[in-house]
Amino acid sequence: MNNQVESAFSDEKPAQAGVAAQAGVVAEPGAVTQTDTATQVDAVTQTGAAMEPVRSFDRAWDQMRPVTLERNVMKNADGSCLVTFGDTRVLCTATVEEGVPAWRRSSRAGWVTAEYAMLPASTNRRTKRERANRKGRSMEIERLIGRSLRSVVDLNRLGEYTITLDCDVLQADGGTRTASITGAWVALHDALYSLVEKDILPRLPLTGQVAAISMGYVNGKPLLDLDYPEDSHADIDMNLVGTETGQIIEVQGTGEGGPFDREQLNQLLDLGQAGIAHLVDLQNQVTGFRE
């Protein structure tokens, strides 16, 4: 199993550039080259004529940002993964504890939960640490992460253990919840695998993979994997959580600029599922889950 895997996109775009054409290309381990991610949503030529908006990392409408999954970055965690989606960076750790919440004890089954937070310097303006008063957004995201991961764990086979996934956003440039889910699955896999290695569990209680990606309409065009400037200007904003088999776990979608139709919804879902197929391939390359 590789400790780090990185997606790469060729500078030479095929006739139909996109995730389907680009997926599965893996570069040697190393840092993603960072470029200026200030997307020019209203880009114009020097003569003033309108042109196609320039996306971060010079990608096509159906391309993702470079994605990196780096395992074993925290020695005290039972599983850990530093995930990057372009300039979004999230540290995901998994901790195994014996016992389950009180309301769960009679079931003899395990539990998987999550916590999510943004570090103060993860955004342009300092984000205040959440102490007594948790933000509704953070609570909503950590519930999303938790239920997404529980959907691919056999909790009965896990037994009376609780696994907590901590997702801390180091740098935010859009898609922090989708990056968190994608990286948290890797950390969860390694935490569960550690229980097998210690002979606590006879086999891995994972039933599948889960990853997530954002999609949206910006200036009337469908886009995959929105960065922050694109997300801020989106007419339709959507997140998709899915599995390696193409099944859907959750869809979050909002018409920011007005209602949208079924054709637009289907187009975004197709776009998102292509992105998830790419992400689960990267997860598999770094964990060897399907080998």
Closest CA to 173 of 91, 65, 253: 65
CA 118 – CA 167 distance, rounded (Å): 8
Report the first-to-last Cα separation within the chain, whole angstroms. Answer: 10
The pTM assigned to this predicted structure is 0.83
DSSP structural state of residue 224: E
In which band, very low, low, confident or very high, does the pLDDT at 157 lie, cut at 50, 70 and 90?
Answer: very high
From the CB of residue 46, how many other CB atoms can be counted at a distance below 10 Å?
A: 5
CA 177 – CA 231 distance, rounded (Å): 13
Burial 14-44 (b: 16+ CB within 10 A, else e): eeebbbbbbbeeeeeeeebeeeebebeeeee
Please check the confidence at residue 130 and state whether its pLDDT lies above 80: no
For residue 243 the two structure tokens come to 């599995």
> What's at 227, amino acid-wise?
D
What is the tens place of the pLDDT at every residue in 57-89? 999 999 999 999 999 999 999 999 999 999 999
Segment 252-281 mean pLDDT = 96
Average pLDDT of the chain, as a whole number: 85
Q: How is the beta sheet containing 248-255 ordered, strand by strand?
A: 221-224, 210-218, 234-243, 248-255
In which band, very low, low, confident or very high, does the pLDDT at 54 lie, cut at 50, 70 and 90?
Answer: confident
Please check the confidence at residue 228 and state whether its pLDDT lies above 60: yes
Sequential DSSP letters for 187-212:
HHHHHHHHHHHTTSSSS--B---EEE
CATH of 61-127+134-287, one of 3.30.499.10, 3.40.50.720, 3.30.230.70, 3.30.420.40: 3.30.230.70
The two counts, helices (H) then strands (E), for the chain are 6, 11
Please check the confidence at residue 28 and state whether its pLDDT lies above 70: no
pLDDT at position 52 is 64
